[in-house]
Amino acid sequence: MPALTLYDKIWSDHVVKPYSDGAALLYIDRHLVQEVSSPQAFAGLDARGVKTRRPEAHLAVADHAVPTKDRDRPLPDSLAARQVRRLVENARDHAIAYIPMRDARHGIVHVIGPELGFTLPGATIVCGDSHTCTHGAFGALAFGIGSSECECVLATQTLKQRKQKRMRVLLEGQPAAGVGVKDMILALIARIGVGGGVGYAIEYAGGAIANLSMEARMTLCNMSIEAGSRVGLVAPDETTFAWLAGRPMAPAGADWEAAMAYWKTLPTDPDAVFDREVSLNVGALAPRVTWGTTPEDNLPIDGVVPDPDREPDPDRRARMQRSLRYMGLKPGARLNEVPIDRVFIGSCTNGRLEDLRQAAAILVGRRVAPNVAAIVVPGSATVRLQAEAEGLDRVFRAAGFEWRDSGCSMCVAMNDDRLQSGERCASTSNRNFEGRQGPNGRTHLMSPAMAAAAAISGKLADVRALESRRSMA
Amino acid sequence: MTPFTRVVSVAAPLPETDIDTDIIFPARFLLLLDRRGLGAHLFHERRRDGVGARFVLDRPPFDRAQILVAGRNFGCGSSREHAVWALADFGVRVVVAPSFGEIFYANCFRNGVLPVRLEAAPHGRIMTAAETGAPIEIDLGSQTVRLPDGEDIPFEIEPGRRRDLMLGRDEIDAILADDIGDIRDYESRRRATRAWLDPRLK
């Protein structure tokens, strides 16, 4: 038997048939359906007169366009309301389970899939959303697809796919205080670049993984796409199993035992070979922030804005110049002196309970700076309720944050949560692209703890300084 | 899907790297429900930013370009197929770049758009030729880009994808016609071995 990687194992277990051109027809176990990428897929299905092949394999929820406040009122008549209504109708007509906005299970697809146990190790999971790689944290083969591919999954429960190359990222060492998994993934993207993972399925491994919670692993896998890779994976282990046990859609009883027996066969064989290996000493990392308009444009918080004139690659230099113009930053400026207007804590990257705990720990007994408007958008209603049970909402509110309902919110700015032109935001989301948080809005990506530090300081700030001050008090 | 064989057109030069799908099609227009008519919002911010020279797709002769020549990692970021729908609706049938975002790349083929991947050196010659505004020919049959000076630059493409583009073949129709038996067999095999994978929402 040749030595296989986790990715190889899940892939070959799902090949329905190989094609002569090297592609394979891959079976898809789970499909998360949201309002933005699905209407055209359902319209295509209806035009063909084809029914959904396996309605129970799909789960629909509106997350991108929904408001995060005043949920008890009817949605105002708008394009967003029309889009949510269309999802409700499509789910009904195709007999697909739909989770309403006011349901206790509502949330961002990539938060609720795991919460419900819809996400399982060894499964293939797709969604018309690039951050579907999040689910790879459970040892699932999960990737984002376009609407036409969503239509294909609805109609056939399969996708024609080409196998990717294999990359292993070894995270070694233990992070220092104030450094989290967001800093690890930002450092990796800075290292390999936003195109560095194109064509690869990344498996995250190494000594630092064992100590990462499922929430942290989800943050890690979530941003694989920001390195260009559609797929990020972590091998399932006891942390994974403990997290999944008892989830509403997770297997139970004898099924659980059978599933566990299979899941334990999934980790990469010791002699398996990867096409590329990258290793990162996470013990040497400092908290990081982005300064430009791609996620690779990030540096330690104690750094300065880089100088494009010192960049040898002409394409990269032009990119940096454009980024700095857009971001309104000058080369040499200290990052920890950049003033901010807004703070956003949330998203499929950092909208989970652990993220909110980390931010709240910094905010206890402190106030948001007067020049800053800050919101927290829990990734799901479940996260929101758990946080409220722990009193985190009171910490956020006392600090001056708005406490909102679940959704994608200011990560994608499709609802009313967006930056005004020229506003600068400390954000726990995943993309600092031009216009991502609203036309001409300026985004700095960072961890939840760093976003909390920025909120208090009114500027990008080093959370390590805040923590040490608190411990002296 | 319209079969793709050959395109002769001016090529719009967009010499920037990492053009993400948020730039190609900003998120607030994702509220639209139809895949048609999206060309109106293609590169929305760039075409209306009013800063400096007008955006290339607003400048004749490039406002009628069926070919776009861009920098590396074109179409990175979000999976939104709207980016391809908007390009196709505008009239773009070919995008030439050193590399592409993977989801964007896959989406192109499902909409009769040909993404051409080329090494830096030949890509640079195409970019230079595009800037002159002279027509460029892209022939999928012979897998070549012909420059105005007569130089032929070969490009690689997966054979199955080339065939489907040339035939205008719809992948879903093909799977429904040819593969349903295999899918059924797979499903019954799976039910026997991994019944726990069948989802049940309580």
Instruction: Identify the three-state secondary structure at position A398.
Output: helix
Give the span between the Cα atoms of A163 and A7, in whole angstroms. Answer: 9
pLDDT of residue A470: 46
Give the span between the Cα atoms of A211 and A174, in whole angstroms. Answer: 9
First to last CA, chain A: 60
- A49: alpha, beta or left, given left = phi > 0 and alpha = psi -120 to 50? left
Q: For B34-48, what is each residue's pLDDT tens digit?
A: 999 999 999 999 986
Q: For B59-93, what is each residue's pLDDT tens digit?
A: 999 999 999 999 999 999 999 999 999 999 999 99
Nearest by CB to B76, from A30, A195, A439: name it.
A195
Give the span between the Cα atoms of A119 and A111, in whole angstroms. Answer: 10
A129-138, B117-126, B188-197: range with lowest mean pLDDT:
B188-197
Are A447 and A358 a contacting pair, CB within 8 Å? yes
Task: Write out chain A residues lying below 8 Å of B180, CB-based.
Answer: 156
pLDDT of residue B104: 98
What is the torsion angle, in degrees rounded to the nearest 10, for the CA atoms of residue A194, residue B108, residue A349 and residue A337?
A: 40
Task: Write out chain B residues lying below 8 Å of A320, CB-based.
Answer: none
pLDDT of residue A169: 98
- Determine the average pLDDT of the residues in B127-152: 98
pLDDT above 70 for A298 = yes
Are A438 and A418 a contacting pair, CB within 8 Å? yes
pLDDT of residue A471: 42
pLDDT of residue A76: 81
- Determine the average pLDDT of the residues in A273-299: 98
**Per-chain mean pLDDT for chain A:** 96
Are A119 and A138 a contacting pair, CB within 8 Å? yes
Nearest by CB to A146, from B103, B179, B199: name it.
B103
The values of phi and psi at residue A165, to 5°, are -75, 170
Rg of chain A's alpha carbons, rounded to an integer? 22
In this complex, do A39 and B33 lie within 8 Å of one another by their Cβ atoms?
yes
pLDDT band at B202 (very low <50, low <70, confident <90, very high): low
In this complex, do A436 and B22 lie within 8 Å of one another by their Cβ atoms?
yes
pTM above threshold 0.95: yes
Closest Cα in chain B, distance from residue A453 (Å): 28
In this complex, do A228 and B101 lie within 8 Å of one another by their Cβ atoms?
yes
pLDDT of residue B51: 59
pLDDT band at B12 (very low <50, low <70, confident <90, very high): very high
Q: For A307-328, what is each residue's pLDDT tens digit?
A: 999 999 999 999 999 999 999 9
pLDDT above 80 for A212 = yes
Are A407 and A420 a contacting pair, CB within 8 Å? no
pLDDT of residue A473: 36
Residues 95-154 of B with CB under 8 A from A: 99-103, 106-107, 110-111
Q: Could you count the other beta carbons within 10 Å of the beta carbon of residue A461? A: 28
Give the span between the Cα atoms of A29 and A10, in whole angstroms. Answer: 11
In this complex, do B16 and A23 lie within 8 Å of one another by their Cβ atoms?
no
Q: For A436-465, what is each residue's pLDDT tens digit?
A: 999 999 999 999 999 999 999 999 999 999
Per cent of chain A over pLDDT 90 is 96
Write out the residue limits of the CATH 3.20.19.10 domain(s) in chain B: 6-169
Q: For A10-23, what is each residue's pLDDT tens digit?
A: 999 999 999 998 89
Q: What CATH number should be reported for the domain whose range is B6-169?
A: 3.20.19.10
Nearest by CB to B16, from A30, A37, A318: name it.
A318
Q: Give the β-pairing of A124-127 and A141-144.
A: parallel
